[in-house]
Structure 1
Amino acid sequence: MKNMKTNIFSLIFLGLSTLSFAQLEFGVKGGVGISNTTIVHGVSKERIGFLAGAVAKYPLTTRNENHYIQAEVLYTNQGEYSLPKENGHKYKAFLNYINIPIMYKYYFDDQGKDFFLEAGPQLGFKVSEKFDEGEPEIENNIPKSFDLAFNIGGGYSIDRKFEINLRYQYGLIDTYDYVKWDNKTNRTSLLSLGVTYFFK
């Protein structure tokens, strides 16, 4: 896993190094999200958490300002609450990730104030977890350290400096392993509202 992470970061750095840094735009992003995980905890309740990190945007054409590739590095709260039927108590099943979405971004106009759509894959690396003691399935469910997801969303840009976006993330792989009984395929899900500021 460590070798895979090293190779992924090396490929990202190599790709960025081939670009013209004069055309790169950098910014910061923060927001709030509602997350859960399919199946694994049976009856569950979504977690409300935060996300924050850095953004880099690069134009795909010089003919207009409509098409971009945007890469982000975000610290993201994910997971959910487990609500077993036995006692009705709410248990934390929290996972925190460093997520790296690579998004294609299309602005409807090449002016300063306009709407945009975005879509692209995302690499996720678990950096911490928090599970309350007493949760009935805690001994069986083992969260994996890597997640692969796909994002789709849209938003509004103000002078290409301030942007607000709504994005939905859906996991493409199983994010939980098991010890005793098969917990089926568990995919991450995150609906987030973010605000981005680009340094001009």
Structure 2
Amino acid sequence: MKKIVFGIAMSASLMLSAQIDFRSTRYGITGGATYSRVSNAHNPSGARYSVYGGLLAVIPIDSSDQFYIQPELEYLGAGESGKDKNAKNSPDYNAIYGNSYISVPIYFKGFFSEAESEFFAMAGPKFNFLIGQTIKNAPQRYTVEGQVINGELVHGKAASFNFALGFGLGYSYKRKLELTGRYDLGLSNTYPGLMKDPNLAKKKSEQVLSVGLSYIFD
């Protein structure tokens, strides 16, 4: 919780101190593919592939055409699967633990120069709100060394809110068409219900890698 409060406070502080020019705001669309995993959750544990997509705004915060605030509103598919390469013969190999979010990242974006076509980097907090969870082909009981956890079916109910820090690197063609690679580091507990067993009492952190395209309108 302290990290979440700190992230919100930092975002607000930077936005208030910046020379924001809302009149020059440009809008765009964004979308791409995601690769996600959740640490310390299910066993076997592997990657899940999904998509993201939504809207963005590019807001100048200086007069040099180099620095911006870029808030976004997007659908984000994340979670994990049972496709661990070392567990191909496991009955749980085809399990899917899919999490769907409405994600609100607020990136601070900087271009490496004032050139019209240029590389850029960005970083900022991401606020993810769960809108759906899909569990397929999962075992009827989640076990640790053959023992049922408290006799319950505990695949794990995903938390309704997920906080992460997002980092990105990309290239912009004429400040209109942009290719971006992103990494989201989850800081909150994705599956608090799986903390019941002392052998599993480690934070279930969700990480997401994504690659996508954005188009920014004039």
What's the TM-score, normalizing by structure 1? 0.85
Structure 1 residue 181 displacement after superposition: 2.0
Q: Which runs of 5+ in 2 are unaligned?
A: 1-7, 143-151
What's the TM-score, normalizing by structure 2? 0.78
2:4 aligns with none
The AA in structure 1 aligned to 2:39 is T
Instruction: State how far apart, in whole Å, the 1-side matches of 2:119 and 2:137 are.
Output: 45
Structure 1 residue 110 displacement after superposition: 1.1
The AA in structure 2 aligned to 1:24 is T
2:59 aligns with 58
Greater per-residue helix proportion: 2
1:5 aligns with none
Instruction: State how far apart, in whole Å, the 2-side matches of 1:87 and 1:48 are.
Output: 20
1:67 aligns with 67
Q: In terms of mean alpha carbon deviation, does 153-162 or 129-138 score higher?
A: 129-138
Q: Deviations over 1:103-130 (max 9, x none)?
A: 1101011121000011111100010010
Structure 1 residue 43 displacement after superposition: 2.1
The AA in structure 2 aligned to 1:108 is F
Q: Quick one: which of 184, 190, 204 aligns to 1:175?
A: 190
The AA in structure 2 aligned to 1:157 is S
1:126 aligns with 130
Q: Please say which structure displays the higher CA radius of gyration.
A: 2
Instruction: State how far apart, in whole Å, the 2-side matches of 1:73 and 1:147 are.
Output: 15
Structure 1 residue 33 displacement after superposition: 0.9
Q: Quick one: which of 81, 95, 100 aligns to 2:99?
A: 95
Residue 41 of structure 1 contacts residue 83 of structure 1 at CA under 8 Å; is this kept in 2? no
2:210 aligns with 192
Q: Secondary structure at the match of 1:143?
A: coil
Structure 1 residue 142 displacement after superposition: 2.0
Residue 35 of structure 2 contacts residue 210 of structure 2 at CA under 8 Å; is this kept in 1? yes
Identical aligned residues as a percent: 30
Residue 94 of structure 2 contacts residue 137 of structure 2 at CA under 8 Å; is this kept in 1? no
Matched length: 187
Instruction: State how far apart, in whole Å, the 2-side matches of 1:134 and 1:71 are.
Output: 36
Q: Secondary structure at the match of 1:178?
A: helix
Structure 1 residue 133 displacement after superposition: 5.2
Q: Which runs of 5+ in 1 are unaligned?
A: 1-7
